[in-house]
Amino acid sequence: MNFLGVAISKLIHLSVRCLLKLAEDLGAEPIWVFNAGISRNDQVDTTAIAPFVKDVLDSLEFARGSAKSTWGSVRAAMGHPERFPLKYVAVGNEDCDNTKPFYQGHYLKFYNAIRGAYPDIQIISNCDGSSEPLDHPADLYDFHIYNSANDLFLKKDTFSRTSRTGPKVFVSEYAVHVDGDTSKGSLQASLAEAAFLIGLEVNSDIVHMASYAPLFVNDNDRKWNPDAIVFNSWQQYGTPSYWMQTFFGESSGAVIHPVRLNSSYSGSLAASAITWQDNEDIFLRIKIVNFGPNAVNLTLSATGLEAGVNASRSAVTVLTSNDSLDENSFDDPLKVKPVKSGLPSAAEEMQAMLVPHSFTSFDLALDEYGELAADM
C-alpha cells in the first residue's frame, strides 16, 4: 500500500471537508474548482491524466458518498456522516487558452468520468462560449472579466448577444482592475461593476451565477486590488463595490421586466426593472446607474400595474459621493455608502433625478402586479 499517497489524499479530503463545512455554515452553495492537471507553467499530458481523474472521483465520493463507502466513511469519521450537497464542479481555472493545449483533452476525461458517476452534478468548462458555441459538452462555462471602469461599463451588454442555446454562463470573476482606475476600490469602479451586473441581471435567462473578485483581504497582506471587504486584526470596512452588491443580493430570484430608456444621456445610463417580494411586501425595483458627470432628470413610467403604488411603503436608495474616485478606509469606513429614504412621490408615473456618478434604486411598493414595462 502507498501510505504516503493515502496520507496525502486524507489531507486533501480534510481541506475539502473544511471548505464544504464553511459553505454549509454560511448557507452557501459550494462550487468545487479542482486542478485539471495544469498549472501556470506546467501541464500533464492527457495520456497521464488518469490519476488526477481518480483523485477527483475519490474526492466526490468523500463529499457525496454513503457513510459506508471508502471515502464517505472517512468523512463520517471526521464527524459529518451526512452527505454534502455538492452540485457544481469546475474543471480547472483559466486553463482554456492557446498556451495550454492539453486542456480540452483533460476536460473530456474529467467530464465523462464525473457524468458517469454523478449525472446530476453540473460541470463547468473554462472555455468561453459567449461569442461562439463550445465544441465540447458542458452545463456551464466560466467567464472572467477584468477591465478599466469605462471598458467594463461598455461591456454591460455582453450577454445580450449570446446564443440562448447551449451551456449557461457562470461569471465567476468580474471587477474593475486597472492600476490608477481603482486604487483600493472607488465609487467609479463600483458604478461600472453595477452596470455590468445589471447586464447580467437582464440576461439572467443565460447567466445563471456570478461572483466578484476576492471577497476578503487582510490589509496587512494585500495581493490584489480591489476587494469587497477589508480587514485587519481589529477593524473592517466594505468598499463601494461591497455596498453596490447589496443592491442585488436581497432581490435575487426576481422577475425581470423590460426597460426602455428615453434620455439624451442614455449612453451613460444602465437600468433594470424587477419585481421581488420581501416578506409579505411586493416591490417594483428600478435600478439605474448614472455613470456620467451630469445630473439626469427622468420620468419613470411603469405600465401594466394591476394595483396602485403605495407611496408610504416605497423608498429610494442612492450610492454616490462627492468625487467619483472616493474610497472607503479604516479612518472613514462609510465615506461611500448607500443612503435610503422615503419616496412620498412614488407613483405609477413619477419624476426622478439621478445625481452624477450614482447608483439609484427606486423601490415602489405594490399590492399586485401583472406584465410590467418601465419607460424612463
Which active-site residues does the annotation give? 94
Give DSSP secondary structure letters for 142-204: EEEEEE-HHHHHHGGGGGGGS-SSS-EEEEEEEEE--TTT-TT-BHHHHHHHHHHHHHHHHTT
Which cell is 59 given? 474526492
Tell me the one-letter amino acid at 181. D
Show the DSSP H helices in the chain as ranges. Answer: 3-26, 50-64, 70-77, 103-117, 149-154, 187-202, 240-249
In 3D space, the residue among 112, 109, 56, 110 whose CA is nearest the CA of residue 86 turns out to be: 56
In 3D space, the residue among 312, 309, 292 whose CA is nearest the CA of residue 347 turns out to be: 309
How many whole angstroms separate alpha carbon 60 and alpha carbon 163?
A: 32
Q: How far is CA 165 from CA 134, 162, 207, in A?
A: 11, 9, 12
Q: At which residue does the C-alpha cell 411598493 appear?
A: 365
Starting at the edge strand that comes first in sequence, how are the strands of the sheet with 349-354 ordered?
A: 259-260, 373-375, 296-303, 349-354
Q: How far is CA 263 from CA 100, 154, 155, 195, 280, in A?
A: 47, 17, 20, 17, 34
How many whole angstroms separate alpha carbon 265 and alpha carbon 292?
A: 8
Q: How far is CA 300 from CA 88, 259, 375, in A?
A: 40, 10, 6
Task: Tell me 41's DSSP state.
Answer: S
